[in-house]
A = this chain, B = another copy of it.
Amino acid sequence: MSTLHTLILNCSLKTKENISHTQALTNYSIEILQDHNVSFEIVWLADYNIGYSTNDDTTHEDDWPEIFEKVKAADIVIFATPLWIEEKSSIAAHVIERLYAESDNTIKNGPALFYNKVGGVLITGSEFGAKQAAQSILHALSHIGFTIPPNGDSYCICKDCETSVDGKAIKKMSNNLVYFAGLLKDYPIPAEESSLEQI
C-alpha cells in the first residue's frame, strides 16, 4: 500500500507556544496514525495570518496559499477544534471558508479537488455543543468532496484530556480514516464522478 499522509489543522485560538487541550486530544490520534505508518503534519492555525476568502485588501499578507498546499498534499485531513460558546472556533470557520472558495474555483475545470481525501474531527471542550460543531465541519467537508468514514468524529468533554479522553472513539475514528484513505488511494473515485463538468 502506498504511503498515506495526514494533515491536522489545529483550530485552537491559542498560538503554538501555549498549552492547548485540543493538542492533547490530537496526540492520541497521532499515536494511532503512527501505528499504521501514516505520516503527519500539524498546522497550528493561530500562528498564521489568514486573509478572508473575498479578500479585497491586498495590503495585508495572506498565509493561506502555504496552508492550501499542505491540504492538497494530504490524504487525510483532521480538524481539531475547541468549542467557544458551544461552537467550533472562529478559526475553524475561517479556514472552512477558504477551502470552500478553493473548491468553487476548481470544481468547474476538472475532477473535484478534494475527492479521494477523507476527513475527521476532534472536539475539545466542556460545553454542550460538540455534536453541532462536529456536524458543521464534517458536512462542510462532505459538501466540497471529502469522504466521511463511519464514526468520523471524536469528542473530549473534559478539562483534563490526558486522563478522561474517550480512547475507543478516537481509535475507531483514526482506524477508519486510515482504512478509507488507503481504499481511495487504491481505488480512486472514477474521474467522471468527480467532475461536475462531465456530468
**Chain A residues packing against B (C-beta within 8 Å):** 13-15, 17-18, 46, 52-57, 84-91, 93-94, 96-97, 100, 112, 114-115, 127-132, 134-136, 138-140, 142-153, 155, 157, 168, 171-172, 175-176, 179-180, 183, 187, 189-190, 193-194, 196, 199
Expressed in whole angstroms, the minimum distance between the Cβ of A64 and any Cβ of chain B is: 13
Expressed in whole angstroms, the minimum distance between the Cβ of A196 and any Cβ of chain B is: 6
B56 touches A52 (CB 8 A): no
Contact of A131 among B128, B147, B193 (CB under 8 A): B128
B199 touches A171 (CB 8 A): yes
B151 touches A128 (CB 8 A): no
10 closest cross-chain pairs (CB), A and B: A128-B130, A90-B93, A90-B94, A13-B52, A148-B148, A85-B100, A135-B139, A86-B131, A129-B131, A13-B54
A146 touches B140 (CB 8 A): no
Contact of A168 among B91, B94, B136, B196 (CB under 8 A): B196
- A18 to B139 Cα, complex, angstroms: 30
- A127 to B131 Cα, complex, angstroms: 9
Nearest neighbor of A180 in chain B, beta-carbon distance: B147
Expressed in whole angstroms, the minimum distance between the Cβ of A128 and any Cβ of chain B is: 4
